[in-house]
Amino acid sequence: MKVSLNWLRDFLDLDKSSSEIAEILTSLGLEVEGWEDVKPSPVDLDKVLTGKVLECERIPETDHLSATKVDVGDGVIRSIVCGAPNVAAGQKVFVALPGANVFSKDGQLFTIGERKVKGVPSQGMICAQDELGIGHDHSGIMVLPEETSLGITAAHYLDQDSDTVIEIGLTPNRADATHHHGVARDLAAWLRVHEQREIMLRAPKTQALPDGGTPYPVTVENTDACPRFTGIVIRNLRIGESPDWLKNRLLAVGQRPINNVVDITNYVRLELGQPLHAYDLAKVKGGRIVVKTLPAGTSFTTLDEQQRKLFA
């Protein structure tokens, strides 16, 4: 099992080194097999800030360059020349300030400096995805949600702060520690006992389901193997890409992002240990979900459309 220290820090304040945490976990019966430091992007994302394009005007005698005025929340309005076709006033964007290293179109790191382009001062760069090393898209600058605050580092916004991922060899008797909250709970207990620290384990924030969620009928035929299985119908969902912070959390612990619905079920399992599965209501036959034990050799089609046989 892979555990992210940044994820653990969502639940408690940890001021220990990776080796100290590994030693504590092993003493608690969670044997650490190793750990590695992870930096998601070679770009120093702490030098890239969220900003707002206040003004945007096309530079005369050019077919693609625009002169912009950008605010990154530090009280200084910067002039930045941008060649992206989608740049416009009012957008929230990522801004690399002078001194930041970003990728060029040919994949080479270079340092942003102050210069003049077509006689217009440029004091930074409004960034595309590939320039930050977090993807391959160079079709235009990244446009952030309108509610994005100014002056947030890209590392924090994208949840791409440097991280340490610990590999734990779990034994069957430690199902309580198959998720980050469970591991954090054990660490908090150790710190209270061995260091007499008044440490609070933060609980994840939850919200009640909005009215309109429809219970879905479930029949459990083998309650010994599955004591409880509940279903609810959620309509009007838009299937799409997950936000970057969610994808990065999953990638850090070896989970491949798929889409926003599948990813959030995996996120909840990794954070709280609660198994979830999302079904396409249109593909559920018979108007109910049936949970039962099938004999070895039963053929079935998996989600990847492959025909497989069930083994005992």
Give dist(CA 108, CA 133) in Å, integer.
Answer: 10
For 133-145, write each residue's pLDDT tens digit.
Answer: 877 788 999 999 9
Q: Which residue's structure tokens are 């210069």?
A: 115
Among residues 130, 158, 182, which one ends one of the domains? 130
Structure tokens at 110: 């270079």
237/38: higher pLDDT:
237
Residue 125 in domain: yes
Residue 8 in domain: no
**Most confident listed range (161-165, 199-203, 264-268):** 264-268
Compute the radius of gyration of the chain from its Cα atoms. Answer: 25
Give dist(CA 111, CA 100) in Å, integer.
Answer: 6
The domain that holds 106 is classified in CATH as 2.40.50.140
Q: What integer is the mean pLDDT of 94-101?
A: 96
Structure tokens at 146: 């309108």
Q: What angle do CA 1, 162, 247 make, to 5 degrees?
A: 60
16 in Cβ contact with 194 (< 8 Å): no
Query: What pLDDT sits at residue 161?
Result: 67
The domain that holds 278 is classified in CATH as 3.50.40.10
Residue 184 in domain: no
18 in Cβ contact with 34 (< 8 Å): no
Query: What pLDDT sits at residue 90?
Result: 97
For 201-249, write each residue's pLDDT tens digit.
Answer: 887 777 776 665 677 899 999 999 999 998 888 888 899 888 878 888 8
Residue 88 in domain: yes
CA dihedral 216, 221, 227, 233 (to 10 degrees): -10
What's the structural domain count of the chain? 2
Q: Which domain holds residue 267?
A: 214-309
Give dist(CA 142, CA 51) in Å, integer.
Answer: 11
Query: What pLDDT sits at residue 98?
Result: 95
11 in Cβ contact with 177 (< 8 Å): no
Q: What angle do CA 136, 159, 278 make, to 5 degrees?
A: 85
Q: What integer is the mean pLDDT of 88-112?
A: 93
279 in Cβ contact with 289 (< 8 Å): yes
CA-CA-CA-CA torsion sign (63, 68, 90, 240): positive
pTM: 0.65
Q: Which residues contact 64 (CB under 8 A, 6 or more apart)?
A: 83, 85
Give dist(CA 126, CA 119) in Å, integer.
Answer: 18
Residue 185 in domain: no
127/236: higher pLDDT:
127
Question: What rounded mean pLDDT belongs to the chain?
Answer: 90
Query: What pLDDT sits at residue 257?
Result: 85
Among residues 130, 164, 187, which one ends one of the domains? 130
Among residues 130, 154, 188, which one ends one of the domains? 130
Q: Which residue's structure tokens are 């219970």?
A: 215
Backbone dihedral region for residue 141 (phi beyond 0: left; psi -120 to 50: alpha; all else: beta): beta
